[in-house]
């Protein structure tokens, strides 16, 4: 658990995720139901193990390359030779003597190509330059009744006037790519993530002024970030299966999308408070009274 609120540079990803403060994924789970959040949280004494699917590793590898550069990518990942039929423990040790992750040949090549597409896009050529990758922040949100909710965010890329977020998408329905990205934003409520990250960004100046900054960083650059009067959130979506297409959009204060996301984020925080107070110990439950199912509750196509 992180003992102090503030800004953290070079914080290990596992350490960040282990902290019980609410991140954007927690808020999106709370929007679905309190029990879903509890099941995956540290409140559950036996939470399900973290997923280690190839798609997740692919995303981590591309993040490493785009956000931290080729040198850091090659220090953490190696390519599996295309003619290698079996990857046993001995062969893996030979390929990755420093414990690197071994990527399939096609995935390795696709990651390099996707990163090159982002870097060569005229609108994105500086999207991941001039800032710092994987910056974490921990703060307290105060609800209207004074209830305190610990919150956290881990920005993919923090810049003086923005937060960059790299997202993968597998366009399984073959939609126009921009349409598929918007569908992903609405289906997974990435707008709530954007709102949460921007609220965390609003806490940054206070932490800098109070000296609540941890880890190796450039104080002069961070002071410029803290003094910036305006900032926005930017998604950079890339297609992880098929052509390495790239699509990007931003959200700024005053955007009605953010207003909706802020409202729903607040509901999620209230859900957290209500369940914590109702179930101080044990699993959270949906204690709804049994009632008659009404036709108005059915989807439009049914009616």
Quote the crossing angle between the two packed helices 54-68 and 105-120, to the nearest 10°.
Answer: 40
Retrieve residue 211's tokens. Answer: 């000296």
- Residue 115 falls within a domain, yes or no? yes
CA angle, 144 then 150 then 155, to 5°: 115
DSSP-derived pairing of the beta strands 77-79 and 101-103? parallel
pLDDT at site 82:
83
- Residue 298 falls within a domain, yes or no? no
The yes-or-no verdict on residue 84 having pLDDT over 90 is: no
Q: What is the CATH number of the domain that holds 228?
A: 3.90.320.10
pLDDT at site 204:
98
Name the residue range of residue 30's domain.
6-279
pLDDT at site 57:
86
- Residue 257 falls within a domain, yes or no? yes
Q: What is the tens place of the pLDDT at every residue in 164-203?
A: 999 998 888 889 999 999 999 999 999 999 999 999 999 9
- Residue 179 falls within a domain, yes or no? yes
Which pTM value belongs to this model?
Answer: 0.92
Structural domains counted in the chain: 1
- Residue 225 falls within a domain, yes or no? yes
Q: What is the tens place of the pLDDT at every residue in 125-141?
A: 899 999 999 999 999 99
pLDDT at site 242:
83
pLDDT at site 1:
64
* Local confidence band at 50 (pLDDT 50, 70, 90 cut-offs): confident
- Residue 297 falls within a domain, yes or no? no
């Amino acid at each position: 658990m992180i003992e102090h609120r503030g800004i953290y540079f070079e914080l290990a990803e596992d350490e960040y995720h282990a902290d019980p403060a609410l991140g954007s994924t927690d808020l999106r789970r709370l929007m679905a139901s309190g029990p879903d959040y509890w099941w995956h949280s540290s409140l559950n004494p036996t939470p399900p193990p973290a997923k280690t699917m190839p798609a997740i590793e692919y995303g981590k590898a591309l993040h490493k390359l785009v956000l931290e550069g080729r040198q850091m990518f090659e220090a953490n990942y190696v390519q599996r030779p295309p003619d290698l039929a079996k990857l046993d423990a001995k062969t893996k040790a030979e390929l990755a003597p420093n414990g690197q992750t071994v990527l399939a040949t096609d995935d390795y090549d696709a990651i390099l190509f996707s990163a090159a597409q982002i870097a060569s896009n005229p609108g994105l050529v500086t999207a991941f330059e001039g800032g710092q990758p994987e910056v974490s922040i921990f703060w307290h949100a105060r609800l209207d009744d004074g209830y305190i909710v610990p919150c956290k965010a881990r920005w993919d890329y923090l810049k003086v006037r923005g937060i960059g977020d790299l997202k993968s998408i597998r366009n399984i329905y073959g939609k126009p790519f921009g349409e598929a990205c918007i569908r992903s934003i609405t289906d997974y409520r990435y707008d709530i993530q954007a709102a949460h990250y921007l609220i965390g960004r609003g806490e940054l100046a206070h932490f800098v002024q109070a000296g609540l900054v941890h880890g190796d960083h450039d104080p002069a650059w961070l002071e410029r970030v803290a003094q910036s009067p305006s900032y926005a959130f930017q998604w950079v979506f890339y297609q992880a299966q098929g052509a390495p297409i790239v699509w990007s959009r931003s959200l700024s204060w005053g955007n009605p999308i953010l207003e909706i996301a802020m409202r729903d984020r607040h509901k999620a925080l209230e859900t957290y408070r209500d369940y914590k107070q109702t179930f101080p110990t044990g699993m959270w439950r949906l204690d709804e009274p049994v009632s008659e199912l009404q036709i108005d509750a059915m989807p439009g196509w049914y009616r």
